Amino acid sequence: MANSALKLSAIDAYYGDSHVLQQVSFELGEGRLLGLLGRNGAGKSTCMNVSVGLLPPRAGAVEVFGATVTRLPPEMIARRGVALVPQGRRVFKSLSVRENLAVAARTEHVGRRHAPWTMLTVFAMFPRLAERRAQLAGHLSGGEQQMLAIGRALMSNPRVLLMDEPSEGLAPQIVAEVMATIRKLKESGLSIVLVEQSPKLAFDIADDIVILNSGRVAVVSTAAALKADGVDLRQHLGVF
Ligand X SMILES: Nc1ncnc2c1ncn2[C@@H]1O[C@H](COP(=O)(O)OP(=O)(O)O)[C@@H](O)[C@H]1O
Binding site for Mg ion (CB under 5 A): 44-45, 87
The residue among 11 and 119 lying less far from ligand X, judged by its C-beta, is 11
CB of 128: closest distance to Mg ion in angstroms?
26
The residue among 40 and 107 lying less far from ligand X, judged by its C-beta, is 40
Give residues with Cβ within 8 angstroms of 154, minimum separation 6. 83, 117, 121, 122, 125, 161, 185
* Burial (Cβ within 10 Å: 0-12, 13-18, ≥19) of residue 66: exposed
Tell me which residues touch ligand X (CB under 6 A).
Answer: 15, 18, 20, 38, 40-46
Which of ligand X, Mg ion, none is residue 42 near (CB under 5 to 8 Å by kind)?
ligand X
CB of 203: closest distance to Mg ion in angstroms?
19
CB of 178: closest distance to ligand X in angstroms?
18
The residue among 32 and 44 lying less far from Mg ion, judged by its C-beta, is 44
CB of 199: closest distance to ligand X in angstroms?
14
Which of ligand X, Mg ion, none is residue 46 near (CB under 5 to 8 Å by kind)?
ligand X
CB of 44: closest distance to ligand X in angstroms?
3
Query: How would you list the strands of the sheet with 18-29, edge to edge?
Result: 18-29, 4-15, 59-64, 67-68
Give the C-alpha separation, 218 to 26, whole Å: 11
Q: What's the full length of the chain, in residues? A: 240
**Cβ 41 vs Cβ 66: under 8 Å:** no
Q: How far is CA 188 from the centre of its chain?
A: 16
**Cβ 12 vs Cβ 34: under 8 Å:** no
Question: Taking CB positions, which residue lies at the least distance from Mg ion?
Answer: 45
Which of Mg ion, ligand X, none is residue 40 near (CB under 5 to 8 Å by kind)?
ligand X
The residue among 156 and 197 lying less far from ligand X, judged by its C-beta, is 197
The residue among 38 and 166 lying less far from ligand X, judged by its C-beta, is 38
Query: How would you list the strands of the sheet with 216-222, edge to edge?
Result: 82-85, 160-164, 191-196, 33-37, 208-213, 216-222
